[in-house]
Amino acid sequence: MRATRAVVDLGAIRHNVAGVRDRIGPRRRLMAVVKADGYGHGALEVSRAALESGADCLAVAIPEEGRDLRAAGIACPILVFGLIQPREAWKSVAAGLEQTVCSLELLDALDQESRKRSVKTDVHIKVDTGMGRIGLAPGDVVEFARSVESCSNINLKGVYSHFSCADERDKDFSRTQVRRFEETFQALNVAGIHVPIRHMANSAAVLDLPEAHFDMVRPGIMIYGLYPSSDVSDSVRLRPAMSFLSRVCQVKVIPPGTPIGYGRAFVADKMSTVATIAVGYADGYRRSLSNKAEVIVKNRRVPLVGRVAMDMCMIDVSAVPDVRPGDEVVLFGEGLPVEEMASILGTINYEVVTGIGKRVPRVHV
């Protein structure tokens, strides 16, 4: 096992999914979002833990993610959030995935591919209620749904939308989005078009907007034990699942005036003990943490000194007695929340956990 690794507590995943289930009740469906390799936590292992603890189905961003889960034996419904090119329709159909649709070209390609394979493909219509990304304008949904119903090998399973700022304290625009969504499926009802599943709630809405829970919710970041922002409630108590760890690989004592790392960006002002650890920006431990972050060694916080390199960085362990090669270093985890690293980087916890590099082994416990 490599010294640097991301340890993922599957018990925390189960706890968080069960917390969502308690929040939404037994009748609503729970779609666990496992795109981007389970937000960096390992999609297959997270999927299994989520399905064991209350999730009914899964969501991914691209068909390839769903195909990999199918190949590993995951049989539950899997929705592809992202739009694909019509020539890629075979990917979703061949893997038995549910596909987001909002264009006639993709709809026709899915229908043709499904007819060729003698299967029916479930689709979910995406409605743009204010995100401004993908989806149909609310006023175009009824006509498009009629086109879906005219396809012999397509089944209209869901209609959904996505919040743009449900993680903010001010929920006024989010409630406007809910109203637009409600008006959309009311228009579908008036037109006599039945849609089995209406869904809109991301993690922030699961926590703070029960009026948006509808028939199904789609928690993402919260199943990994992280809150979408500091402005949402803790109506579900979460346990962070990932710890990012490394080990000391060398320890040296340096005199005052000794430069450390590229560019001599740090120079010791006193006799110091410096440890090198085997992690760098190629692992997702970003260069912009240089001379700003702290880590934990032997239950003590110590500063990062010098620039983070591709494969290594240095810490000042002068205040920690008897540090030796092999000692564990917490980059984030217990006692050092990932949000602290995100704040230094000027980003969000989502980006930090999904940015942990592929060469960092995921250890599932």
Q: Please identify every residue annotated as catalytic.
A: 35, 262
d(CA 263, CA 258): 12
Sequence-distant (6+) residues with CB within 8 A of 5 are 245, 246, 360, 361, 362, 363
d(CA 208, CA 67): 33
In terms of DSSP H, where are the helices of the chain?
A: 10-24, 35-39, 43-52, 63-71, 89-94, 104-117, 141-149, 172-190, 203-208, 338-345, 349-354
d(CA 211, CA 206): 9
Total Cβ atoms within 10 A of residue 16 = 29
State the residue for tokens 């006193």.
270
Total Cβ atoms within 10 A of residue 73 = 8
d(CA 218, CA 203): 7
Tell me the one-letter amino acid at 346: G
Instruction: Give CA torsion, residues 111, 116, 120, 126, to 10 deg.
Output: -30
Are 305 and 315 within 8 A, CB to CB? yes
